[in-house]
Structure 1
Amino acid sequence: MNLDEYYKTTREEKLIFQIPEHMEDHLTSATRLLEKIQEFSEIEQALETKKEDFEMRMEHLQQRRAELERKESQLKESLEKFNKILQENIVKKNHAIKKANNERDFKKTKDKDIARLQTECENLKQVFNRKKKRHDSYMILVSFLMKVLTKTDEFNEIRDIIKRYDALSSTYNDLVEMDTKTQKHIEYIRHSDTRNTEEKHNEILGYNNQLSVLQLEIKKQVRNALHWESKWNHIQNTATKEALTLGRIKIVTLNLVNVIKGYKGQAPTDDTTTLQQLNYIKIFGEDLSKTVQSILNGEQDETAGTMSVEAKKKTQPK
Structure 2
Amino acid sequence: MTGREFIAAQMELRQMERDREQLKQKAHERKQYLIDLHRRNEELKQIAKEAREQRFKLEMFFRDEETESDRLMAEKEMKEALEKEAEIQRLKEECEELKKRKQEMQLQTLKYIPYREFLERVLKLTKFTNVDELAGYLENLLYIRDQLYQRETQVQEHMEQQKKACQSLKDNHNLLLLQKNNHLSQLQTELEKARSEALIWERQWNQIQETAAKKTLELGQITYATLNLFEMAGGVTGVGGLHIHDTEKQLEAIKNFMMDHTDIVKHYQTHMHREARGSKSENKGNIK
Q: TM-score, normalised by structure 2?
A: 0.35
Q: Which of the pair has the greater relative contact order for Cα pairs under 8 Å at 6+ separation?
A: 2
Q: TM-score, normalised by structure 1?
A: 0.32
